[in-house]
Amino acid sequence: MSELRRSIRELEPSSRLLDPGPDRQDELWSAVGELVRRLLTHSGGDAAYRDDPPIEDDAFAIGETPSSVVEALATIDAVGRSGVNQTSGGHFAYIPGGGLFPSALGDLLADMSNRYSGVHFAAPAASLMERSLVRWMAALVGFPDSAGGDLTSGGSVATLEGIVTARDAAGVSSAHVPRAVAYLTRQTHHCVEKALRIAGLGECVVRRVELDERSRMRPAALDAMIEADAAAGLRPWLVVATAGTTDSGAVDPLGPIADVAHAHRLWLQTDAAYGGFFLLTEHGRRALAGIDGSDSVVMDPHKGLFLPFGSGALVVRDEGPLADAHRYSASYLTDAREAGGTFSASDLSVELSRPFRGPRLWLPLRLFGLAPFRAALEEKLLLARYFHRRLAETPGWLVGPEPDLSVVTFRHLPPRGDPDEFNRRLVKAVYADGRAVISSTEIGGAYTLRLAVLHYRSHLDDVDALLEILERESERLLAT
């Protein structure tokens, strides 16, 4: 026994290095704080896109000996300097993710306390904070008191949880899969089909419902498809509507779609990962009218509430089916589950181990209140309309429909040559300028540029700068 004790004591000094004392804490805190202050001061105004050479692999090497904090932080700083600058107001590509400073502070505090919010018994107050946030989002959608949900790592996991819930609520077993029918459109986010596959539904029948001229699902076409499939002996069970498509920002007619889904007793999941938090605005409530007829709704706070990446949510009309679909049992958790007295996050989620996600959402909402979020979202809606009208009035540009939300599709039509190739070169020219970054997609077989205004730092000057870049670079390309 004495030899065993001696071996333990010999290891202890090295092991204790993982728990630094006050002097080392001060050194780390000071170094990290200095880097954070510099990032807050400069990163938002830095280039929106930088094509820096990649960092050498050996910069990430892990060995037995420690590095200095200065060296380690320099590597982390360098990692954040190449590619798309997610902190820039010139970030108009894809759907931007925000990164509010109080959210980072919330994460820091959550990580320091390291409360385990996955089981109510382990951290009752942390669990209640997260449940209150879910219920706030459910109320925003218009769901009743029976609603519930889960804070997730993003829209993909929320989508998976919703589809698993819909599958079990509809009683779709493995034997039913080849005859089970899900109704999507060509604009449905790809994570839906990925979720179907992961949920064991990869062989189910997937119908693509016809779109209207604004790339929105046609409810009458949906109704006809369901009728035909049911008459053919198939088993319709799921409709996925979209409140803000990635390609063009289109919002499906949610009320009429809900009417069709309910008439045929199908589960309706609405993908509002991008558009959901526009419900805070008057325009958004009009555009998303009928979303309260959904059975489940996917929302991404890292989009519409400008939080750091890793902030998603699923809200459901009735918490019961969500809990039934994600139930589990384990003998080592029996006491904790019995003592909880309420649903835990792990009862409603694919996750058991999970971070305490509440503070990253709760702290900025509490510190700022809803008014600045509402103003920022209204500003983004108006900026998108402003950009659309400016380009529509400029010769040589073809713009898509007036935006439902804050995505604008457009392309330049050169008087000669291949328009697709011209617009590809134009995107590269925008990247080379660096002050703004946009993205592209394909609409109607044509290479199309797109602007997505959803960064809290994007303001009128940033949009004007992008318009100036597009005009200057298109003229330059035409002259070559």
Question: Tell me, what CATH number does 334's domain have?
Answer: 3.40.640.10
The token pair that represents 364 in the structure block? 């900025």
What per-residue confidence (pLDDT) applies to 336?
Answer: 58
pLDDT above 70 coverage of the chain, percent: 97
**Is there a domain that residue 342 lies in?**
yes
Of 43-47, 216-220, 276-280, 333-337, minimum mean pLDDT range: 333-337
Full 3-state SS string of 384-401: HHHHHHHHHCCCCEEECC
Alpha helices, DSSP H, located in 47-177: 69-79, 101-113, 124-141, 155-169
Give 217 or 45, the one with higher predicted confidence. Answer: 217
Same domain, 167 and 183: yes
Counting beta carbons within 10 angstroms of the beta carbon of residue 250, is it exposed (0 to 12), middle (13 to 18) or buried (19 or more)? Answer: buried
Same domain, 424 and 328: no
Task: Residue 111: name the closest of 355, 365, 294 by CA.
Answer: 355
How many domains is the chain partitioned into structurally?
3
Mean pLDDT, residues 227-244: 98
Question: Tell me, what CATH number does 415's domain have?
Answer: 3.90.1150.10
What per-residue confidence (pLDDT) applies to 46?
Answer: 76
Beta-strand ranges (E) seen in 144-246 are: 148-152, 180-184, 205-208, 235-242
Same domain, 176 and 53: no
Q: Which residues pair with 239 in a beta bridge?
A: 183, 268
Same domain, 33 and 64: yes
pLDDT digits (tens, 9 = 90+) for 441-467: 999 899 999 999 999 999 999 999 999
Residue after which a domain boundary falls, among 333, 368, 403 = 368
Same domain, 13 and 154: no
Mean pLDDT, residues 425-441: 96
**Is there a domain that residue 99 lies in?**
no
CB atoms within 10 A of CB 368: 13
Mean pLDDT, residues 310-326: 96
What per-residue confidence (pLDDT) applies to 77?
Answer: 87
Same domain, 410 and 382: yes
pLDDT greater than 60 at residue 340: no
Same domain, 159 and 288: yes
Average of per-residue pLDDT values in the chain: 94
Instruction: State the pairing for strand pair 180-184/235-242.
Output: parallel
At 56, is the pLDDT very low, low, confident or very high (cuts 50, 70, 90)?
Answer: confident
What is the maximal distance between C-alpha atoms in the chain? 89
Run of H or E including 324: helix 319-325
CB distance 185 to 208 below 8 Å? yes
pLDDT digits (tens, 9 = 90+) for 400-424: 999 999 999 999 999 999 999 999 9
pLDDT greater than 90 at residue 84: no
Same domain, 293 and 186: yes
pLDDT greater than 80 at residue 337: no
Residue after which a domain boundary falls, among 325, 340, 368 = 368
pLDDT digits (tens, 9 = 90+) for 241-260: 999 999 999 999 999 999 99
At 341, is the pLDDT very low, low, confident or very high (cuts 50, 70, 90)?
Answer: low
Give 385 or 51, the one with higher predicted confidence. Answer: 385
- pTM to 2 decimal places: 0.94
**Is there a domain that residue 192 lies in?**
yes
Owning domain of residue 465: 370-479
Mean pLDDT, residues 365-394: 98
What per-residue confidence (pLDDT) applies to 43?
Answer: 63
**Is there a domain that residue 272 lies in?**
yes
Same domain, 233 and 120: yes
Task: Residue 131: name the closest of 147, 153, 144 by CA.
Answer: 147
Same domain, 344 and 294: yes
**Is there a domain that residue 296 lies in?**
yes
**Is there a domain that residue 328 lies in?**
yes
What per-residue confidence (pLDDT) applies to 338?
Answer: 56
Same domain, 270 and 143: yes
**Is there a domain that residue 289 lies in?**
yes
Same domain, 157 and 280: yes
At 139, is the pLDDT very low, low, confident or very high (cuts 50, 70, 90)?
Answer: very high
Of 71-80, 112-121, 443-452, 471-480, minimum mean pLDDT range: 71-80
What per-residue confidence (pLDDT) applies to 135?
Answer: 97
**Is there a domain that residue 95 lies in?**
no
Residue after which a domain boundary falls, among 321, 353, 368 = 368
